[in-house]
Amino acid sequence: MIEVKGVSHDMRGQAILRDVSLSLPRGGVTALIGPNGAGKSTLLSLIARLQRLQRGRITVDDLTVGACADRDLARLLAIMPQSSAISARLRVGELVGMGRYPWHGGRPGAADHAAVEAALAQFDLTGLRHRFLDEISGGQRQRALVAMACAQGTDYLLLDEPLNNLDIAASRQLMALLRHMARDQGKSIVIVLHDINYAAGFADRVIALAGGRIVADGPPAEVITPGLLRGVFDTDARISVIDGRPVVVV
């Protein structure tokens, strides 16, 4: 379980998060939605200790973020940050292989190779494994980064806008895969999404953030309402319900 208690965060005197508390039990896909600048990415990177916690407390299972050993957390929780500017010049296979580092510390064994192969196959990257990251398309690079996070083989997976650069087929495939991992492998997945329809279509739970606060939290059908769109996103889009899931008509 990820537990966030009373977390506030400032940047240059500007409040990004204000007293956020929430708990995410194991399992399921949780989508974080909200307008630009709501604090979604900051919340995610605080949970994954990419930024230092200023106020409040975050625990993942029995590990306290900021106090536990970094390797232990890396074996429990993987993150794909939004701006994954990888500074080294790597091939796709090498990048995905780096995801296993927390387990083997540099000396990959058979299990690590198998996990990398599985991740490459899952994300349709086997044919691209020998290509450099700067030689493939943006969508392919995005898939490689998600594959790297998956190869890390953690119970918790945090993804910051993984659908960037992906076409509709790849987006649906990725979301379906994540849902499958959550249902059948018991993974807990937290994902920042911009497209509310993907959140509505694939998430088990939706959390809406605005101005650094949680403004709605629950199953998609309860959270994604005309009131939310108007109040939080400042837009008058219509919502219709298809197969029991809300769909925003854009």
- Rounded-to-integer distance, Cα 224 and Cα 227, Å: 8
- CA angle, residues 136, 141, 146, in degrees to nearest 5: 155
- In angstroms, what is the minimal distance from the CB of 100 to other proteins? 9
73 or 206: CB nearest other proteins? 73
Q: Where are the alpha helices (DSSP H) in 190-236?
A: 196-202, 220-223, 226-233
Question: Toward other proteins, which CB reaches closer, 32 or 149?
Answer: 149
Smallest gap, in angstroms, from Cβ of residue 93 to other proteins? 11
- CB nearer to other proteins: give 68 or 221: 68
Tell me, what amino acid is at 21?
Answer: S
Please identify, using beta-carbon distances, which residue of 99 and 212 lies nearer to other proteins.
99
- Cα 73 from Cα 230, distance rounded (Å): 38
Task: Give 85-146 as a DSSP string.
Answer: ---S--BHHHHHHHTTHHHHTT---HHHHHHHHHHHHHTT-GGGTTSBGGGS-HHHHHHHHH
- Pick 81 or 219: Cβ nearer other proteins: 81
Q: With the C-alpha atoms ordered 110, 160, 156, 19, is the resulting torsion angle positive or negative? A: positive
For residues 48 and 191, which CB has a smaller minimum distance to other proteins in the complex? 48
Least spacing, CB of residue 70 vs other proteins, in Å: 4
- Separation CA 101–CA 105 (nearest Å): 5
Q: How far is the CB of 172 from other proteins (least distance, A)?
A: 26
Closest separation between CB of residue 83 and other proteins, Å? 8
Q: Would you tell me which residues interact with other proteins (CB under 8 A)?
A: 12, 45, 48-50, 52, 69-75, 78-81, 83-90, 94, 98-99, 101-102, 105-107, 134-135, 149, 152
What minimum distance in Å lies between the beta carbon of 111 and other proteins?
A: 17
- CA-wise closest residue to 175 among 223, 221, 167, 118: 167
